[in-house]
Amino acid sequence: MRALLIPSVLTLATLAAAQDKVTVYQNARILPGGAPAIEQGVLIVSGGKIQAVGGASTPIPDGAVIVDCTGRTITPGLIDASFQTTQSYQDLNEQSEEVTPHMRALDCLDPEDPAFTRAREAGVTAVHVMPGTRNVISGLGCAVKTHGTDPASMVLGRDVSMRLVMGSEPSLGNRAIRGGRVDSIYYRRPTTRMGVIWEARKAFFQAKDENTLDGGDPTPNPGREILKQVLAGKLTTFTTARSEQDIRTALRLAEEFGYKTVIDDAYDAHYVIDELKDADVTVLLGAPSAERVSGTAGRDGADPRGATAPLLAQKKVPFVITTGTNPLALDLVREAMFAARNGIPPRLALDAVTILPAQLLGIDARVGSLAVGKDADFVVWSQDPLHPATTPVSVHINGLPVHTASTSR
């Protein structure tokens, strides 16, 4: 790792000079994110920011570096709103308690993680990293760029979400106490689905009591402070709920305590579409490619259907496409491609991996679309990004190329 740092420092110095130059990407088809396509588009970048986006008539400053992008397509850098790092299970799941709202995913982020390299190679320039799924409330998620020398230089949003997990995972493999010491680490609760919900409810009850009752518990409790923020509507809960049953439970809990939630990894969204619509929640659609035409159901009995994305679009339930917790998920752009195959308009498929996740994570002032003043995070694709044969020609973060295809086609 040390050996890797030396060349990257050297290149940074030269790249910093490149960053100040004005670079013009010409003749590309530009899909700006949240806006119609621009044919024969021009993208002007300098100082790591976008200076101009427009059609062929956009004035080009003197002395600019010109990059001809004929036949190419430019999109904003993709944003994965539920990203898996390669960190081990132990690193992402704090086992000392079932409810750990104050654990920060940011604190165990490794900028050298190969998952970030893969993300950059796939055109993903920003990600939302959450703690694992083995706790009932596992902690705070952060939004980061996929390139940087240390976590601080990558951060887009420090605490953008709190993860809550429904279903069988938080109770998986846990054992009830049978004799022995009650405080032994070998015993963990909850052991059932009911127990999972009770742990969540108990935590919210305690935080709520402190909100309403005079005084409350005088013991400082950092986790409870986070929950209070959630109850005050200052922090969004990302509830991981895959099956129909778990999604309903997630919505019920949010209604009961009056907090704002997003449904993460909502494989079964199709079956609870009306409830989702009524609850006015955003849905994270994890890996649309996981839909099986025939075969058995997935984890927690979830049964993803191809029609989910088109139905969400038709019913105007806001959704974002992610790679989710599926270990077989494809590159994010391919997941958008599968959603498009299943019948959503191509523009919506791209928005669902660019501007929509940026808005959801509250980082859209800096990233998510190609607009003047935003960070120059963008991808030059060899052809339409939703074609199976497409490949990123170059990927840029803050205007700098962080990945360039070894062979240009």
The site for other proteins (CB under 8 A) is made up of: 114, 117-118, 243-245, 268, 270-271, 273-274, 289, 291-295, 297, 300-303, 305-307, 310-311, 328, 330, 334, 337-338, 340-343, 386-391, 407, 409
Which one, 202 or 387, has the nearer CB to other proteins? 387
Q: With respect to other proteins, which residue has the nearer C-beta, 193 or 366?
A: 193
**Residues shown for the chain:** 409
Quick one: 204 or 381, whose CB is closer to other proteins?
381
Distance, CA of 111 to CA of 8 (rounded, Å):
12
**Closest separation in Å from C-beta 295 to other proteins:** 6
Q: Which is nearer to other proteins, 56 or 297 (CB)?
A: 297
Please say which residue, 311 or 400, places its beta carbon nearer to other proteins.
311
Shortest Å, Cβ 163 to other proteins: 22
Q: Helix (H) and strand (E) counts for the chain?
A: 12, 16
In whole angstroms, what is the distance from residue 379 CA to residue 405 CA?
11
Q: Which of 275, 267, 272 is nearest to 243 (CA)?
A: 267
How many degrees, rounded to 5, is the angle at CA 167 between CA 131 and CA 321?
Answer: 60
Closer by beta carbon to other proteins, 333 or else 367: 333
- Triad 360, 362, 363: Cα angle to 5°: 115
Least Å from the CB of residue 6 to other proteins: 16
Query: From the CB of 45, what's the least distance to other proteins, in Å?
Result: 27
CB of 207 to other proteins, least distance (A): 31
Beta bridge partners of 144: 127, 155
Report the nearest approach of other proteins to the CB of residue 290 (Å). 9
| Chain position carrying tokens 């995972």 | 169
Query: Of 70 and 296, which has the nearer Cβ to other proteins?
Result: 296
Q: Shortest distance, CB of residue 249 to other proteins, whole angstroms? A: 12
Q: Among residues 185 and 328, whose Cβ is nearest to other proteins?
A: 328
- Residue type present at position 231: L
Q: How far is the CB of 320 from other proteins (least distance, A)?
A: 20
d(CA 207, CA 160): 19
17 contact partners, CB below 8 Å, separation of at least 6: none
Residue 186: how many other CB atoms lie within 10 Å: 8
Q: Which is nearer to other proteins, 182 or 328 (CB)?
A: 328
Cα distances (Å, whole numbers) of residue 136 to 94, 108, 188, 239, 399: 11, 19, 12, 10, 40
Report how far residue 385's alpha carbon sits from residue 123's, in angstroms, rounded to the nearest whole number: 10
Give me the least distance between CB of 80 and other proteins, in Å please: 17
Token output for 139: 């902690």
Distance, in Å, from the CA atom of 159 to the CA atom of 407, rounded to the nearest integer, reads 39
Residue 369 CA, distance from chain mean position: 15
Is the separation of the CB atoms in 142 and 157 below 8 Å? Answer: yes
